[in-house]
């Protein structure tokens, strides 16, 4: 594989599908993930280890992880809500596990039914579990600071609290924190400011990725601001599908296809083949025909004379 300047982490199979009522057949999901990997996507969040009663759309996560592990060079990420989920994720062999820690405690109680203090205790227990694994089986453990830019339940959130929770999460034992614009409230100036504050507190190597939603049309602008700051991993979702069931009004993620175009047009490498990416989009559309897909670039095509491969 060639050098990649910006790692695009595809979260459609988790964040996207959890917000769609219809359940994508497991066989089709495997084909989709294989097609994404074949297009050059190097990290995919393939699901979440939550009870099937809560998210039946992701009930097949263990099977999807097993499939993903057969694809050479693909980094398999999963989301977990608690220690039990982490136990299942580690047993599955996932390379990366993420747990959401909502800066808005109201959102945290609705999303994972835990306060900040309870979540930090859970993070410490998961870190202990991760560290007890043999080195070659030890997953990368990230805490995603959800609602870091605003909450549709509480309103504005304190930037100092974001920093405090980042410090507390790392002290509890996670490897890295990420900033998540769960409700699509962020603007580029705010994002630059918060990245700088977190970096000043914990170091640049402890925050390398952002998770952005496009609720108010600021997704790509925020992605550009993050990249300009030096962020190297940006989450995105094919067709812009996604949202957060626990955050009223939160719409989909930034569109993978548009993000690939923007990054490559700036002369940075994603490692993604655009035509193959569009083929993966078509595969998804055929399997989920009632799902609305977004994105300007897949509809208009690349500018004349431009290739992304």
Length, in residues, of the chain: 309
Does residue 174 carry a catalytic annotation?
Answer: no
Contact 228, 205 (CB under 8 A): no
The single residue of 151, 174, 244, 278 carrying the catalytic annotation is 244
Find residue 44's DSSP bridge partners: 10, 76
- Determine the distance from the C-alpha atom of residue 307 to the mean position of all C-alpha atoms in its chain, rounded to a whole number: 26
Phi, psi for residue 34 in degrees, rounded to 5: -60, -40
DSSP 62-107: HHHHHHHTTSTTPEEEEE-SSHHHHHHHHHHT-SEEEEEEESSHHH
Which residues, at least 6 apart from 279, have a Cβ–Cβ distance to it below 8 Å?
35, 39
E strand or H helix that includes residue 211: strand 209-212
Residues annotated catalytic, as ranges: 244
């Amino acid at each position: 594989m060639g050098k990649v300047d910006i790692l695009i982490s595809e979260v459609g199979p988790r964040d996207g599908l959890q917000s769609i009522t219809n359940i994508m057949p497991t066989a089709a999901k495997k084909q989709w993930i294989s097609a994404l990997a074949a297009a050059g996507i190097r990290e995919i969040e393939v699901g979440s280890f939550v009870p099937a009663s809560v998210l039946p759309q992701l009930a097949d996560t263990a099977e999807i992880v097993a499939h993903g592990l057969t694809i050479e060079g693909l980094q398999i990420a999963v989301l977990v809500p608690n220690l039990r989920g982490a136990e299942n994720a580690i047993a599955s062999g996932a390379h990366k596990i993420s747990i959401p820690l909502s800066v808005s405690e109201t959102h945290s109680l609705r999303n994972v039914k835990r306060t900040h203090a309870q979540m930090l205790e859970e993070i410490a227990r998961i870190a202990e579990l991760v560290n007890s694994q043999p080195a070659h089986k030890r997953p990368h453990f990230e805490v995603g600071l959800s609602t870091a830019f605003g909450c549709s339940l509480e309103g504005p959130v304190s930037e100092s609290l974001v920093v405090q929770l980042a410090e507390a999460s790392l002290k509890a034992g996670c490897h890295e924190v990420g900033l998540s614009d769960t409700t699509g409230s962020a603007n580029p100036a705010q994002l630059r400011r918060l990245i700088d504050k977190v970096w000043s507190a914990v170091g640049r190597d402890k925050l390398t990725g952002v998770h952005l939603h496009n609720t108010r049309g600021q997704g790509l602008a925020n992605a550009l601001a993050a990249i300009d700051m030096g962020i190297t991993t940006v989450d995105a979702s094919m067709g812009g599908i996604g949202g957060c069931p626990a955050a009223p009004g939160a719409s989909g993620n930034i569109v993978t296809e548009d993000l690939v175009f923007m990054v490559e047009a700036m002369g940075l490498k994603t490692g993604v083949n655009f035509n193959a990416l569009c083929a993966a989009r078509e595969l998804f559309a055929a399997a989920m025909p009632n799902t609305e897909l977004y994105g300007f670039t897949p509809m208009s095509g690349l500018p004349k004379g431009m290739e992304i491969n």
